[in-house]
């Protein structure tokens, strides 16, 4: 996996120079109200880094919502620095390998850092896989994406402060619950963060940024149980020849889960692909082994309830913190619920959560595509304008739907007629590595209160 040498001893002083000594380009005449984008910094995780289709690459990073916000607020296309990675990315972006069976796996090769020697912190400091505690405590992860982005110089929070930001966006907390959804296991302190720990770290972030005098926009956590990774595979046996549920006595046949027959409230994860191919979860009368799907391949209704309750607790605190410091508040949870339940109507087109064909999510079933990130940028801009009295223009979505920035999508017909599984084992392995997804508690010891 990625190895980035730390050169903190040589460049630490350079990176921590007061931001007032850094050159500041002229700001275009955009009415930002009382929000000042002279030095805009973004704190977050993969959603802020523009992680897409299982990887971090320049192609996707040019559609990150922070870079789009900065462009709209300043009228400039340069000056906002990100840790760009050449294609095919780190890990390599996913692509469609075959339709029959439908397989999505990583591209060949590996990307390389393109501006590793930038003599100051990046404006976009978001690290895929970071949780709230990582923002305040993690500098290195021994060859992971923290090393690529933070470069051993300091935590996200420390580097953000070093830039003396005039405006900061904070969207963090997704990974404090995402691990439970993707791993199919709710393990306190391992795949899901305790509420008290989350609140303490989140308040530290907000108070520290507020102490710099920076204005802020803060977003909450989407429903991680409503993403395609969780919702795509039905809970019933499907005929691979027709991709339709098998009907016996007028009813579909439930798959066999770790606790018996699955119910409509249970979810089968994309990681179940290999097990289903082997016949697990399928009754012997229908050609299966009769053996249940593993716990890691299923998210039970009870686990979904626990995750959603934790998300609600986190989001209540996030909203109260935004109000406490006068930050713009962006309700991502509400928006993603609309995507899941109704779809987004944009320019006469409807965008949904559907895997591959919905037009919002990328090939990994977890992260948005370029259109999704552009839409998210506009959500931020709308709330920033409302909170700070500005008139920052919205991002033009047309290029992200029809133009050169549009993400390649597989046709609905192709998906409906495809057989077999979805994500290859290599795709899942790379995704879990990049997002630091834990699948079980460390052996021989109790789960820690915090992930790191």
Residue-wise pLDDT tens digits, 204-252: 999 999 999 999 999 999 999 999 999 999 999 998 878 899 999 999 9
pLDDT digits (tens, 9 = 90+) for 400-418: 998 777 765 554 544 544 4
| pLDDT value of residue 26 | 44
* Whether 206 and 274 share a structural domain: no
| Residue 419 pLDDT class (50, 70, 90 cuts) | very low
- Which CATH number is 209's domain given? 3.40.50.1110
Q: Are residues 153 and 253 in the same domain?
A: no
Q: State residue 403's pLDDT score.
A: 77
pLDDT tops 90 at residue 4: no
pLDDT value of residue 415: 52
Q: What is the pLDDT of residue 5?
A: 38
Q: Is 75 part of any domain?
A: yes
**pLDDT for residue 274:** 87
The verdict on 166 and 244 lying in the same domain is no
pLDDT on residue 23: 42
* Neighbouring residues of 141: CB distance < 8 A, sequence distance ≥ 6: 129, 147, 436
The answer on 159 and 123 residing in a single domain is: yes
Domain membership of residue 389 (yes or no) is yes
Task: Based on the fold, state whether residues 348 and 288 are members of the same structural domain.
Answer: no
Q: What is the pLDDT of residue 100?
A: 75
Instruction: Confirm whether 2 is domain-assigned.
Output: no
Average pLDDT, integer, range 324-345: 95
Work out how many domains the chain is built from and give that number: 2
Q: Is residue 239 part of a domain?
A: yes
How high is the pLDDT of residue 6? 35
Residue 131 inside a domain? The answer is yes
Q: What percent of the chain has pLDDT over 90?
A: 80
- Cα(341)–Cα(69) distance, integer angstroms: 27
| Residue predicted with more confidence, 89 or 19 | 89
pLDDT of the residue at 196: 98
Residue 192 lies in a domain: yes
Is the residue at 450 inside a domain?
Answer: no
Q: What is the pLDDT of residues 90-106, one digit of tens each?
A: 999 999 998 877 889 99
**112-132 tens-digit pLDDT:** 999 999 999 999 999 999 999
Judgement on whether residues 328 and 375 belong to the same structural domain of the protein: yes
- Provide the pLDDT for residue 20: 33
| 119 occurs within a structural domain | yes
Mean of pLDDT over the chain: 89
Residue 243's pLDDT is 82
Among the candidates 280, 299, 318, a domain finishes at 299
- Pick the last residue of a domain from 299, 317, 346: 299
- Are 369 and 404 in a shared domain? yes
- The reply to whether 206 and 144 lie within a common domain is yes
Mean pLDDT of 250-278: 95
Q: Are residues 180 and 76 in the same domain?
A: yes
Residue 446: pLDDT band (50, 70, 90) is very low
**pLDDT beyond 50 at 374:** yes
Same domain, 410 and 269: no
Least confident range of 20-34, 296-310, 428-442: 20-34
21 lies in the same domain as 141: yes
Check whether residue 223 and residue 339 sit in a common domain.
Answer: yes
User: What domain range is 278 assigned to?
Assistant: 233-299
Residue 352 pLDDT > 60 = yes
């Amino acid at each position: 996996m990625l190895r980035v040498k730390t050169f903190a001893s040589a460049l630490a002083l350079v990176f921590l120079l007061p931001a007032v000594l850094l050159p500041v380009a002229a700001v275009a005449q955009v009415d930002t109200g009382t929000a000042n984008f002279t030095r805009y910094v973004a704190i977050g995780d993969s959603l802020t880094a523009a992680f897409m289709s299982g990887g971090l690459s320049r192609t996707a990073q040019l559609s990150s919502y922070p870079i789009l916000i900065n462009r709209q607020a300043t009228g400039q296309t340069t000056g906002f620095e990100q840790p760009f990675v050449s294609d095919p990315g780190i890990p390599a972006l996913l692509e469609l390998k075959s339709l029959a069976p439908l397989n999505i796996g990583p591209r060949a090769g590996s990307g390389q850092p393109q501006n590793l020697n930038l003599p100051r912190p990046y404006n976009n400091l978001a690290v895929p896989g970071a949780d709230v505690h990582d923002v305040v405590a993690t500098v290195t992860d021994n060859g992971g994406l923290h090393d690529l982005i933070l470069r051993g110089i300091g935590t996200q929070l420390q580097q953000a402060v070093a830039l003396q930001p005039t405006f900061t966006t904070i969207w963090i907390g997704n990974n404090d619950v995402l691990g439970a959804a993707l791993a199919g296991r709710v393990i306190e302190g391992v795949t899901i963060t305790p509420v008290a720990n989350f609140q303490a770290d989140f308040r530290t972030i907000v108070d520290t940024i507020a102490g710099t005098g920076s204005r802020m926009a803060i977003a909450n956590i989407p429903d991680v149980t409503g993403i395609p990774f969780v919702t795509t595979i039905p809970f019933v046996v499907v005929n691979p020849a027709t991709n339709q549920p098998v009907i016996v006595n007028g009813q579909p046949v439930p798959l066999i889960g770790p606790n018996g027959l699955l119910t409509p409230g249970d979810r089968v994860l994309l990681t179940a692909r290999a097990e289903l191919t082997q016949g697990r979860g399928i009754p012997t009368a229908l050609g299966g082994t009769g053996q249940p799907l593993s716990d890691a391949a299923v998210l039970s209704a009870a686990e979904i309830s626990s995750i959603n309750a934790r998300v609600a607790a986190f989001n209540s605190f996030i909203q109260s913190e935004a109000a406490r410091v006068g930050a713009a508040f962006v309700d991502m949870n509400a928006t993603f619920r609309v995507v899941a339940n109704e779809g987004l109507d944009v320019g006469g087109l409807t965008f949904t959560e559907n895997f591959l064909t919905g037009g919002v999510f990328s090939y990994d079933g977890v992260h948005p595509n370029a259109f999704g990130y552009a839409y998210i940028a506009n959500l931020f801009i709308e709330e920033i304008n409302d909170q700070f009295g500005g008139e920052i223009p919205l991002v033009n979505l047309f290029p992200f739907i029809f133009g050169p920035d549009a993400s390649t999508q597989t046709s609905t017909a192709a998906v409906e007629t495809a057989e077999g599984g979805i994500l290859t084992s290599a795709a899942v392995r790379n995704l879990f590595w990049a997002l630091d997804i834990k699948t079980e508690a460390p052996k021989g010891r109790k789960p820690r209160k915090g992930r790191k």
